Amino acid sequence: MKIITLHRVEIQFDADQITHGTNGQQADQAIELINLVLQRNPDGLGAQLIVHPDEIEIETRQSE
């Protein structure tokens, strides 16, 4: 089986909608929810997002 790895992928989501807590907690929740969808979807390719906590940079801004 061939495995392709993408590094430094950005994920943007609407905070405080489904996720709650600090920015870091919401990021963790978003990753968990995305992985659940990828694993349950028949076209999910067996994909998953893997987070390396020491390499994460969280940026927060308000939408216009």
Structural tokens at position 14: 């609407």
What is the reported pTM? Answer: 0.79
- C-beta separation of 19 from 26 below 8 A: yes
- Phi and psi dihedrals of 38, rounded to 5? -60, -35
7-30 residue pLDDT tens? 888 899 999 999 999 999 999 999
Position 42 scores a pLDDT of 80
Position 31 scores a pLDDT of 94
Domain ranges in the chain are: 23-53
- C-beta separation of 31 from 49 below 8 A: yes
Position 25 scores a pLDDT of 94
Return the closest-CA partner of residue 51 out of 33, 37, 32, 38: 32
25-51 residue pLDDT tens? 999 999 999 999 888 878 767 788 998
CB contact set of 43 (below 8 Å; sequence gap of 6+): none
